[in-house]
Structures are given as C-alpha cells and as structure tokens.
Structure 1
Amino acid sequence: MNTMTLFHLTGWEFAALAFAALLVGFSKTAVSGANTVSLAIFAAVLPARASTGVLLPVLIAGDILAVLTYRRHAHWPTLWRLFPAVAAGVVLGTLFLVRADDGAVRTSIGAILLLMAAVTVWRRRTADREEEPDSVGTRAGRAKARSYGVLGGFTTMVANAGGPVMSMYLLSAGFRKLGFLGTSAFFFLIVNVSKVPFSAGLGLIDGRSLLLDAALVVFVVPGALIGKWAVDRIDQRLFEQLVIAATVVGGLQLLLR
C-alpha cells in the first residue's frame, strides 16, 4: 500500500482515529464488540486495506492491557480447542487479501460489519432463553468450536472483526463476565500477534504505519482505564444498542461509498 497517505491526515481525521483507538481500549476491558465502531472509523478515514494494517497494532495494545487486567480468569481448555480452527480461518483470510483490491476489501468489511450487527442482535434475543449450553466436550460442542473458530479467524484476518463472532461463542458456552473477559483477552492477544507476519507480508504493516500506530496507542490506555472503571457500572443493554446502531451505519457507509 502507499503508506505515504497516512501522513496526509487532516486534524479531524486524526481525531476520529484517536477516538477509535480509545474505543478499542474500552472494548477490550469492558464491552467486547465496541471496537466494530473503531473498525468502521478506520476504514472510513483510511484506505480499506491500509486500515486493517494500521488497526492491528492498536488492537494488540488493547489486548495487552486486557490480559494484564483479567489474566487470572482465562479458561485455557477453551482456547486450545479454538486455535486450530482459527488458524485455518486466518489462512483463508490471507488468501482472500492476496487477491482482493481495495474496493473488494471495503465492501467485505461493510458486509462483515452488517453480519456482525445481525449476529449481535440474534445473540441478545436468544441470551435469555432457558437452554443448557452445549457442553464443550460433546460432538456438538466441538463442531461449534470449529465453525466459530474458522469464521472468527477469517473475519479477524480480513477486517479485524472477529470480536462479535467469538463473543457469541463464549456466551453460548456459558461464560460469566470475568471468565469471558479473561478468555477473550488471551485469545485475541495470541491471534492478533500471529496475524502480524501475514499482514507485514501483504504490505499492510510497515515503518510508516507503525509511526501512526505509535501516536494512536497513547489513546488506547485511557480507553482501557475507563472500561475497567465502567465494567460493573455500565448499562450493557443500552450500550449494545448504540454499538449495533453505529455498526450498521458504518457498514452501510462502506458498502455505499
């Protein structure tokens, strides 16, 4: 990509990216899925392919803060069960990016955002049903892990949008708040770090993009601190409604751009 365009941002464009970085920190320590709004902002301000490379180190910074906050609550058997399928999804996503141009990536990100919004709505409508979650050791549980893992790996590689997929899986598996946050923190740290060589090989990460990341990471820290403070105080239902609305608007904006 022509990363020189990263240095031609207006003040308002940089402010939008800084706000998106703050949301990344907030989503990692409070409301998983809020960074879909960040994804839409990055893809609207930057070229679509470039946006995935610039956003990845910002996400990793948020993952590190989340791991430091919730490291005692991770459920490692679930993580080991997911990783092989996620790796397959990442490879599929990489192959897609090799052939996709900027327009195709932008359209894909928009479609993925709309899909994730639909998934979140579906999850909220089924979350209160009195059903026993599939045991992770059963055949149905293993099949669910594989299907969610492949979809999560593909969406996180193509658009850094695996959060809602994994959120739905962890909630359907019966995870409580702290277990959910701790497991997802380690999951995305490991997956996002593993994506760096692929992104660098595709030319999505280079010295210039990392300089922009260095300026944006500063805003991840206050977002994470706000999230840690708000996690027990926030009105989850209202916030998810706002996230869904913003995600839909962002997805439509990318599709119609």
Structure 2
Amino acid sequence: MNTMTLWHITGWEFAALALAALLVGFSKTAVSGANTVSLAIFAAVLPARASTGVLLPVLIAGDVLAVLTYRRHAHWPTLWRLFPAVAVGVLAGTLFLVWADDEIVRTSIGAILLLMAGVTVWRRRTAEAEEEPDSVVTRAGRVKARSYGVLGGFTTMVANAGGPVMSMYLLSAGFRKLGFLGTSAFFFLIVNVSKVPFSVGLGLIDGRSLLLDAALVAFVVPGALLGKWAVNRINQKLFEQLVIAATIIGGLQLLLR
C-alpha cells in the first residue's frame, strides 16, 4: 500500500475520520458493534484495504480504555475457549487478504454481518428460555465457541469487523452488560494486538499511517468517556437492541457502498 495517498485527504474527510474515531471509543465502552459504522466511514474515506491498517491502532487505543474501565468483569474461561479458534480465523483472513480485492472484502464482510444479526434475532425470538451462559461448559457451547471464534478471527483480520460477530456470540451466550463489555474488552485488545504483525507484513501499517493514527487517537478518549457515562443509563433490553441494530447498519453500509 502506498500510504502517501493518506495525506491527500481533505479537511472534511479528516473530520469524518475523527467522528469515526470518537465512535470507536463509544463502542468500546458502551455499545459494542457501533464501530461497524466507523469501519464504513474509514472505508469510504480511504481505500478499503488501506483503511483496515489505519483503523487497527485506533481500535487498539479504544481496547486499552475499555480494559481499564471494565477489567474486573471479564470472563476468562470464555476467552480461553475462543482464542484457539480465533487464531485459525486470523490466519485464514490473512490468506484471504492476499487474494481478495476491495470489493470482495466489503461484500463478504457485509454479508457475514447481516447473517450473524439475522441468526441472533431468529434465535432470540424462537427460544423463550434463556440459554445457559458459556460459563457452563457443554459440548454445544464448545462447538458454538469454535464456530464464532473462527468467524470472528476471519472478519477481524479482513476488515476489523469481528466486533459484531463476537457481540452476537456473547449475547447468545447470555452475558449481561458489564460481563459482555469486560469480556469483549480483553478479547479485542489481545486479538487486535496479535494482528499488528500480519497487517505490517501485508503493508497495511507503516510509519505514515501511524502518524495519521496519532492524530485520530485523541478523538477516541472523549468517545470512551461518553460511552462510560451512557452505559449506566441504558437498560439491558435496549443495550441488546442497539448492538443488533449497529450490526445490521454496518452490514448494509458495506454491501450498498
């Protein structure tokens, strides 16, 4: 990637990226999945493949703030069950990026996001009884964790779009707000940091892209503070509806762009 193109953005384009960075902070501490809107903004302002490299350090900054905020609420047994499958998905996503062009990447991720949202809505409407949280280890729970783990690793590597996939998994596993946010905070900090060498190797991150990130990270902090303020004012049902809605919006934006 020739990152010199990143310096040709206009003032309005930078403002759009700054808004997207603020949404990243908000999504990490309040409504996970809202950063699919950020993903779409970055892909609209920058070339789709290049946008994933610029967005990744911004996401990591948001992950750090989320971990500092919700570190006491992480459920580590769930995380350890997910990580091996996520590693497989990240490797598959890396190979996919070697082959796929921008249009294929956008279409594939948009379709996956809409599929995940549809499956989650269907499951919640057809199952009156609440599923056991993943803290209860069952064979079905392990299979579900592996399936979502591979898909989450693939989508997060290809387009930083693993958030909605893992949101759908954590909602289906019965996590409440704080457990949801704490578990996803540690999950994405670890996964996103592990993606950096792959992104550097693919030419998606270099010195010039990091300078743009340095300017954008400043907008993540107020977004995170706004999210921390808002999360205590959002009830569980509205929280889940917002997560699903953000996933659908992000998927549609990627497909219709």
The question of a shared fold, defined as TM-score above 0.5 by the shorter chain, is answered with yes
Kindly indicate whether residue 1 of structure 2 is the aligned counterpart of residue 24 of structure 1.
no
Alpha-carbon shift at residue 76 of structure 1 (Å): 1.0
Identical columns (%): 91
Evaluate the alpha carbon distance shift between residue 130 and residue 175 of structure 1 in structure 2; reply closer, same or farther with a 3 A threshold.
closer
Per-residue CA deviations over 1:32-74 (Å, capped at 9, x if unaligned) read: 1110111111111110000111111000000000000011111
Alpha-carbon shift at residue 249 of structure 1 (Å): 5.6
192-201 vs 133-142, which moves further? 133-142
Evaluate the alpha carbon distance shift between residue 97 and residue 44 of structure 1 in structure 2; reply closer, same or farther with a 3 A threshold.
same
Evaluate the alpha carbon distance shift between residue 172 and residue 248 of structure 1 in structure 2; reply closer, same or farther with a 3 A threshold.
closer
Alpha-carbon shift at residue 5 of structure 1 (Å): 1.1
Contact 2:78-2:135 at 8 Å conserved across structures: no
Alpha-carbon shift at residue 114 of structure 1 (Å): 3.4
Q: Distance in 2 between matches of 1:214 and 1:241?
A: 33
TM-score (normalizing by structure 1): 0.90
Contact 1:85-1:146 at 8 Å conserved across structures: yes
Structure 1 unmatched ranges of 5 or more:
none
Contact 1:136-1:173 at 8 Å conserved across structures: no
Q: Distance in 1 between matches of 2:86 and 2:68?
A: 23
Evaluate the alpha carbon distance shift between residue 131 and residue 84 of structure 1 in structure 2; reply closer, same or farther with a 3 A threshold.
closer
Contact 2:33-2:246 at 8 Å conserved across structures: no
Corresponding residue number in structure 2 for 1:78: 78
Alpha-carbon shift at residue 120 of structure 1 (Å): 5.6
Give the aligned CA root-mean-square deviation in angstroms: 2.4
Evaluate the alpha carbon distance shift between residue 22 and residue 120 of structure 1 in structure 2; reply closer, same or farther with a 3 A threshold.
farther
Superposed counterparts of 1:232-247, under 5 Å? 232-234=232-234
Evaluate the alpha carbon distance shift between residue 50 and residue 175 of structure 1 in structure 2; reply closer, same or farther with a 3 A threshold.
same
Alpha-carbon shift at residue 204 of structure 1 (Å): 0.5
Per-residue CA deviations over 1:153-182 (Å, capped at 9, x if unaligned) read: 001111111112111222222222111111
Evaluate the alpha carbon distance shift between residue 52 and residue 242 of structure 1 in structure 2; reply closer, same or farther with a 3 A threshold.
same
Contact 1:41-1:250 at 8 Å conserved across structures: no
TM-score (normalizing by structure 2): 0.90
Q: Distance in 1 between matches of 2:249 and 2:133?
A: 32
109-118 vs 63-72, which moves further? 109-118
Q: Distance in 1 between matches of 2:108 and 2:117?
A: 14
Q: Distance in 1 between matches of 2:83 and 2:37?
A: 26
Contact 1:37-1:243 at 8 Å conserved across structures: no
Q: Secondary structure at the match of 2:233?
A: coil
Per-residue CA deviations over 1:62-95 (Å, capped at 9, x if unaligned) read: 0000000011111111111110000000000000
Q: Distance in 2 between matches of 1:165 and 1:179?
A: 17
Evaluate the alpha carbon distance shift between residue 243 and residue 161 of structure 1 in structure 2; reply closer, same or farther with a 3 A threshold.
same
Structure 2 unmatched ranges of 5 or more:
none
Aligned length: 257
Evaluate the alpha carbon distance shift between residue 39 and residue 96 of structure 1 in structure 2; reply closer, same or farther with a 3 A threshold.
same
